[in-house]
Amino acid sequence: MTRNGQPVWDAVVIGAGPAGATAARRLSDAGASTLLLEKRLLPRYKACGGGVPARTLQLLDDLDISLVSEGCVDTIDVSRFGSHQFRKTSARPLAWMVMRDRFDQFLTDLASASGATVRDATSVQSISELDGSYDIETPSGAVKARYILAADGATGPTSRWLGIDAAPTRSAAYEVEVAAPTAALEHWHQAANVDVGYRPWGYGWVFPKDGKLSVGVVAAPRRGRSIRKQTDRYLGRLGLEEADVINVQGHPIRYRRSILEPVAAERALLLGDAAGLADEFTAEGIAYAVHSANLAAQAVLTADDLAGAYTRSVNREIQPELDAARTISRLYYWCVTTWPWLALTASKHVNYLWRAFFRVMRGESTYEDELSVLPFNARLACALSGGA
């Protein structure tokens, strides 16, 4: 399709992360002309723990990511301010470890192979709407599109340009990648550390990679100023204060807390982190990014009321999980900061809690389903604990 001699793309996808690359592939596979724009030169480094929950692969049609995986995690090691508490092991992998530059490039290459046009090192400078299409200005010239799918992350400007006031609630994450000594790599082989006790909520993590460790802290909203010091202390407790640092980056995380927070307007949709689709228990967003990409592509291909259809599908399929994860987060972090000994002792010995979490990570259950069977007293305690 052309307008005034200029081609009009069926869809322009902004951002080549898991959400953008997956949406571009879905659309192209269905025959839609699709342009995927990425502001940075690919492959590009992305600040992220790099844990891809096993359930994500189901959303990717059981895609084989072994070529870009750096191993799996089947064990969670729980500590409190660096003091070891206990370990729990799943019968099957919970998550696959990836470096986001390689993982995102892998998904982008699949989008390209499906027929999507990929332009990296191409930033979006402005967006305007005219005569039923969008004009998207880039350094190499304007492009036109019938639909926009914005997957440019928690700090991306697209939602603002489109007038979509999305997911204002944020927390902070700070990550350090270190070339860890052999003993540390062996200790964390197929095991992730979750370090608790941070107020009012949050946690530290260790994710094992090939020859290195990803170490970081997620802090509650308005606690970002102290996060670097918290991470330095955490590295010290892990005995990694002298390890060679490969990369350091901090980034915000958005959380959509209500079905009233918009994720679409007219013929433009927000995906993944741009829409605040991360859960407040683990701060994980890759699975939700891929899920939203699937929903967005389906809406573009089938819906007359694009914004309405996409919003309803997000509210129906993703938001209940975010709400349930937030409730579980409030309960767990409130208990572990108010009664740490009791909470950690119960967590160690009540295996149902870990079986439930493992089922969710493997895609065999959902937070919503697991929350529904919590004892009434636990849900009441959560309600009384208030929000983070």
**Burial track 142-157 (b if 16+ CB lie within 10 A, e otherwise):** ebbbbbbbbbbbbebb
Which SS3 state, helix, strand or coil, does residue 260 take? coil
263 with 247, same domain?
no
Q: For residue 346, what are its two tokens?
A: 């119960």
188 with 313, same domain?
no
Last-in-domain residue among 320, 346, 370? 320
Q: How many residues does the chain have?
A: 388
Residue 186 confidence (pLDDT) above 60: yes
Supply the mean pLDDT for the chain: 92
pLDDT value, residue 3: 58
Domain that holds residue 88: 72-97+170-253
Residue 325 lies in a domain: no
216 with 359, same domain?
no
**Tens-place pLDDT, residues 219-251:** 887 776 789 999 999 999 999 999 999 999 998
140 with 274, same domain?
yes
- As to burial, measured by CB atoms within 10 angstroms (0-12 exposed, 13-18 middle, 19+ buried), residue 8 is middle
245 with 270, same domain?
no
Give the contacts of 144 (CB within 8 A, at least 6 positions apart). Answer: 3, 6, 7, 8, 9, 133, 134, 135, 136
239 with 112, same domain?
no
286 with 145, same domain?
yes
Residue 117 lies in a domain: yes
Q: Count how many domains the chain has.
A: 3
106 with 89, same domain?
no
Residue 214 lies in a domain: yes
pLDDT value, residue 381: 46
Taking alpha carbons only, the member of 160, 124, 158 closest to residue 143 is 124
Residue 219 lies in a domain: yes
Give the contacts of 165 (CB within 8 A, at least 6 positions apart). Answer: 159, 261, 262
340 phi and psi angles, rounded to 5 deg: -60, -45
DSSP 131: T
Instruction: Answer for the pair 3, 9: CB distance below 8 angstroms, yes or no.
Output: no
pLDDT value, residue 211: 92
